[in-house]
Structure 1
Amino acid sequence: MIPPIARRFVAGETAAAAMDHARQLNDDGVGAILNLLGEHYEARGPADEDADTYRDLLAELGATDLDACISVKPSQLGLDVGEALFRENLGRVVDAAAEHDRFVWVDMEDHTTTDATLDAFETQVRRYPEMGLCLQANLERTPGDVERLADLPGKVRLVKGAYEEPADIAYTDKARVDAAYRDLLELAFETFDGGVAVGSHDPEMIALAGDLHEAYGTDYEVQMLMGVREDAQRELAADGVTVYQYAPYGTRWLSYFYRRVMERKENALFALRAVVSG
């Protein structure tokens, strides 16, 4: 059972709990992106099991009117076992999404997975356009990847990048990453027809997205994590901005919760207060 201290960041251990969370978000005008926790499997069994779980979740979502979709990780679907297994499982998940008319996001992991993820996404989005792919501003290669995706159906989610990457292929200075993110946002708004997702909690980048929408007319949405700036999520939605919350769920919550607590000082203070008050 997930302890109360972790429930700020994790929507529960079961699909039913995650869907209940999605309903609560929808009541506040916010959509849900549901992610089953799990990654870096080194055997086929867990990867196949998670693909099956996603297929079941898509069927359950398809039977509701929830504003909710899913997001999958390549290593969760078997990329660490082999690219062929990842492609097979992603194809099975996309088949279920097409059957139940649901959107599929594909997360991006560290730079060693970028080419395989892009290739698999391109194959799938050509046959089912209700898909989106995450790209990371800290990688120097990303402008070229944005231009590649601009010729495809689907959406792009731009994030600053959470992985520690080698300095010869990535920006490591925060100001430089911010500058790259601003440049990528403008490039995406200028070249994308499918839509742009602003995966950021940074008020400056969210405001810039609104300005770029006015300039280029490109549809966009803001995506934020569960447990981070949730008041801002509701306020943006109330102002007419399309907002989605990335809400993970599942039994593998401990490592995810630890990362959320450690990455931001205010999260660590929240956890400390919860422990002391409990």
Structure 2
Amino acid sequence: MIPPIASNFVAGETAADAMDHADDLNEREVGAILNLLGEHYEDRADADADADAYVDLVEALAERDTDACISVKPSQIGLEVGDHAFEENLARIVDAADCFVWIDMEDHETTDVTLDAFERHARETDGNVGVCVQANLKRTREDLERLAELPGKVRLVKGAYEEPRDISYRKKARVDEVYREYLTYMFEAFEDGVAVGSHDPAMIDLAKQLHAEHGTPFEIQMLTGVREEAQFELAEAYPVYQYVPYGSKWFSYFYRRIRERKGNALFALRAVIGR
């Protein structure tokens, strides 16, 4: 059972829990991005099992009137087993899905294979697949120029992985600076939509301004349990999606959220106290 302080960040242990959470979000005009927790599988059976779970999830979503899509991690569905295992499992998830499929980005060693997989599936599905890129990587501007030519959506995040100094920006001010630069470029160059993956009010305000200037479709994406009241307020005027993790592997995810930002612990405690 997930303890109250962790349940603020995780929707539950089952797909049913996650879909019920999505329905609750929909009542507040917020969509859901469902993510089964799990990563870095080296055993093909584990990767196949989670891919099976995603196939079951998208089939269940197809039977519900729920504004929800899914997001998968490459290392969860076979990347560390081998490129072939990853591609096989990703293909069958995408083929089974009537909903939008996001491909999460992991550390820099997976960037090329992840973007290559996105390009194949974005073309095959005519844009029903999205991918995440990280502003803290120095290569990201070139990646965005490549992605601008493809159908599908791209999510821009600041980046949570501690990457080597020679390939990444480490200072917060510099990451914020390039995030603004990349977001501006995306609103100018992307036609299928921009996903603003940030809780930073300054970045969200910039996205609103850029949308007003360019008319580029966009959505705001935030995590479960972080600035949720802001999510509901924003959803009154803009498309908002909440990233909704679920599953039995909740502890490592919760621990990472707390380590990433001490303020997340305060969000969780406030939610528990307020119950």
Aligned partners of 2:101, 2:175: CA distance in 1, in Å?
A: 27
Secondary structure, in 3 states, of the residue corresponding to 2:178?
Answer: helix
Question: What's the TM-score, normalizing by structure 1?
Answer: 0.95
Regions of 4+ moved over 3 Å: 269-278
- Does residue 223 of the first structure (1) align with residue 215 of the second (2)? no
Which residue is 2:176 aligned to? 178
Partner amino acid, structure 2, of 1:64? R
How far, CA to CA, are the matches of 1:177 and 1:83 in structure 2?
31
Q: Distance in 2 between matches of 1:189 and 1:276?
A: 40
The 2-side partners of 1:271 and 1:134 are apart by 26
Contact 1:261–1:271 (Cα < 8 Å) also in 2: no
Alignment match of 1:124 (pick from 117, 121, 125): 121
Distance 1:217 1:275, change over 3 A: closer
- Cα gap change, 1:152/1:274 in structure 2, threshold over 3 Å: closer, same or farther? closer
- Structure 2 residue runs of 5 or longer lacking an equivalent are none
1:5 equivalent in alignment to 2:5:
yes
| Residue of structure 1 in register with 2:43 after alignment | 43
The residue aligned with 1:107 is: 104
Q: RMSD of aligned C-alpha atoms?
A: 1.6
Is 2:270 the counterpart of 1:266? no
Alignment match, 1:208 = 206
Change (3 A) 1:182 1:41: same
Query: How far does the alpha carbon of each residue in 1:78-107 deviate from its partner, in whole angstroms, 9 at most, with x for none?
Result: 11111111111110100011xxx2000000
How many residues are treated as equivalent by the alignment?
Answer: 274
Structure 1 residues 214 and 250 mapped into 2: Cα distance closer, same or farther (>3 Å)?
same
Indicate the residue corresponding to 2:149 in structure 1.
151
Mapping for residues 154-173 of structure 1, pairs under 5 Å: 154-173=152-171
Distance (whole Å) between structure 1 residues aligned to residue 130 and residue 263 of structure 2: 30
Offset of residue 120 of structure 1: 0.9
Deviations 1:59-95 (A, max 9, x none): 0001111000000000001111111111111101000
Where structure 1 has 5 or more consecutive residues not aligned to the other structure, the ranges are: none
Cα deviation digits, residues 207-227 of structure 1 (max 9, x gap)? 000111111110000000000
CA distance in structure 1 between the aligned counterparts of 2:56 and 2:168, rounded to whole angstroms? 37
SS in 2 for 1:84: helix
Residue identity matched to 1:50:
D
Aligned to 1:244: 241
What one-letter code is carried by the residue in structure 2 that aligns with 1:235? E
Identity in percent:
68
TM-score (norm 2): 0.96
Cα distance between partner residues in 1 of 2:194 and 2:271: 36
> How far 1:273 moved relative to its partner?
7.2
Partner Cα distance (2:43, 2:201) in 1: 41
